[in-house]
A = this chain, B = another copy of it.
Amino acid sequence: MITKLDKEFIRTLARDGKRENGRRFDEFRPLKIELGYAKNAEGSALVTLGETRVLAGVKLSVGTPFADTANEGVLMVNAELGPKASPEFEAGPPSAQAIELARVIDRGIRESKCVDLEALCITPKEKVWIISVDIDPLNDGGNLMDAGGIAAIAALYNTKIPKLDEDGRPMFGTDAGRLKLRKIPVPVTIYKIGSAVVMDPDFEEAEAADARLTVTSVDGFLCAMQKGGTGNFKSDEVVRVVESAYGKAAELRSAIKDALGI
């Protein structure tokens, strides 16, 4: 946690249009994506945004589909805010914060329909691929939501589908082809500090914020949103903020595509 004084300082700066780190309000820290960082995952990516580092890993397994989507694979996103990443995180079952992180990233991916779940059906009603995306923050330097969302999509992009043995069990390490992504959903979270709105806060800025709005979008469409924090947005402010998040996502998307070599 940061002190009341630090919080005040950040808010005063923000009122004057400034950030302690010298960045513009809508300026992200340098983004770095390392694909294949975790070799036992079918896909993985380490995303660095300044001091923030988030590792995402994708594991595949074979299981039964849900009854109401009997011809589709299953996608699950999980996040743990393990105490290694921050002195604030506690051991134990996922906190509300970790659950929100996972669910917001999950919805961004799911609603964008970027993964063709029908292509992950092996035998209708019986066998489908289960995709588990695990978000593992290594250091919480602020803005885990965006870093985690980018790590998840990069890890999915990096995913190789294993071949199946004669009993229909995956042979890990083999490669029967890449998981195909139809779109690149990108989350951008806007933080409200006093009356200012900033992007990609570092840890102290995130702590000083009153509210945040995560907007995940693909080309042409918003696909998921989530407001958080005990402060609020005016209703016209929401519209402005969503527009700027959508614009920034387009910018980030081309950086991500460069990093992925698309």
Contacts and interface: CB of A to CB of B under 8 A. Distances in A.
A67 interface: yes
Interface residues of A, number: 4
A67 B164 CA distance: 14
A169 B125 CA distance: 13
Interface in A120-139: 125
Contacts of A167: 67, 125
What is the predominant secondary structure among interface residues of chain A facing chain B? loop
Contacts of A67: 167, 169
Contacts of A125: 167
A125 B166 CA distance: 13
A67 B125 CA distance: 22
A125 to B, nearest CB: 8
Interface string A149-167: 0000000000000000001
Nearest to A70: B167
Nearest to A125: B167
A167 B66 CA distance: 13
A125 B168 CA distance: 13
Interface in A62-81: 67
A127 to B, nearest CB: 14
A169 B169 CA distance: 28
Contacts of A169: 67
Nearest 3 Cβ contacts at the A-B interface? A67-B169, A67-B167, A125-B167
3 contacts: A67-B167, A67-B169, A125-B167
